[in-house]
Amino acid sequence: MEVLGSLFNVALLVATIRTTTPILLVALGGSFTTKAGIFNIGLEGQMLIAAFFAVIGSIYTGSSVGGLVIGVAAALVFALVYAVLVVSFRANEVVVGLALNILAGGMTISLMKAIFGTRGSIVGRGIVGLPKVQVPGARDLLGFNAAQLISGYTPLVYVAFLAVPAMLLIYGRTRLGLYIRVVGEKPEAAEALGISIARVRYTASLLCGLMAGLAGAHMSLGYITMFTENMSAGRGFMAVAILIFSAGDPLKVLAGCLLFGFADALSLRLQTFGFPSYLVLAVPYAVALVALFALSWRARPKTIRETLETMRRALSVSPERESSSTRS
């Protein structure tokens, strides 16, 4: 019980919120492209390139805001390239996404070597991290432990969680949200109504790039103040997994991200208890596989019921009725 108490406590919840933020930001960005009918597997590369250029921008501008802007701009460039190839040239979505992911990994390593003359990581060198936001009166009202749940995070943590209700409003109450959903669900109807499918998908891709850029900047300037090779560590692919079983719905995206964020935070805590690192680091990915398996298993009975119902209807047509309908 003592071990469980030291493992499952307020600190674990705080860590869950921190680790959920980058996955939530990039998954919400991917929600735009998913709703617009684009399977965007390039989220990992957009995050990684944003994390790298956020550090570069922070060093050269001496400001976390400058780093944030430059990191988001880099992700938007990747998002625009993706949109040009997929929307305008109708290239395969998966191939383009994987190519951009590989490009981001190789580019960050090469630029790190060219600019800093090092490989592995960029630490110090004047990197300015994002500031922490202290909610006024939180400790007085809630006490120290509970106050940690709502105070002391970087601004992007609050942006990530506030973006969920904002996106619900966008999809449900705005013309842009309606256009995105129509283009994704019924592109023929959108074309008949005079909606430019290409313009809507470009907009969705750029909004996705914006959110992925915020996620990448949070990783290198908020979550930790440094950059390491491939520091996105599969979070973009986790976001893709979440988008598969949530279909881009913001509330389901939030639930999936909290699940993976908790698994990530738990894996970090387990390392302090002497568990083998190779097993601990596999926890978030194991959770992703279990979640996808559970989803597919849950869908099986419905498919079986539909098949049995179709067979029952087919067998309910008797030969006599069939022959009489033929004569008539």
The per-residue pLDDT for range 112-154, each reduced to its tens digit, is: 999 888 888 888 788 999 999 887 776 666 666 667 788 889 9
Give pLDDT, residue 318.
46
Domains and CATH numbers, the chain: 2-281 (1.10.3470)
Q: Choose between 255 and 325: higher pLDDT.
A: 255
| pLDDT number for residue 133 | 86
Of 135-139, 155-159, 167-171, 315-319, the one with minimum mean pLDDT is 315-319
| pLDDT value at 225 more than 50 | yes
pLDDT tens sequence across 58-115: 999 999 999 999 999 999 999 999 999 999 999 999 999 999 999 999 999 999 999 8
SS (H, E, C) the chain: CHHHHHHCCHHHHHHHHHHHHHHHHHHHHHHHHHHCCCCCCCHHHHHHHHHHHHHHHHHHHCCHHHHHHHHHHHHHHHHHHHHHHHHHCCCCHHHHHHHHHHHHHHHHHHHHHHHHCCCCEEECCCCCCCCCECCCCHHHHHHHHHHCCCCCECHHHHHHHHHHHHHHHHHHHCHHHHHHHHHHHCHHHHHHCCCCHHHHHHHHHHHHHHHHHHHHHHHHHHHCCEEECCCCCCHHHHHHHHHHHHCCCHHHHHHHHHHHHHHHHHHHHHHCCCCCHHHHCCHHHHHHHHHHHHHHHHHHHHHHHHHHHHHHHHHCCCHHHHHHHHHC
- Percentage, residues of the chain above pLDDT 90: 55
The string of pLDDT tens digits covering residues 283-318 is: 667 776 776 676 666 655 555 556 556 656 666 654
For the ranges 3-7, 97-101, 146-150, 202-206, the lowest mean pLDDT is seen at 3-7
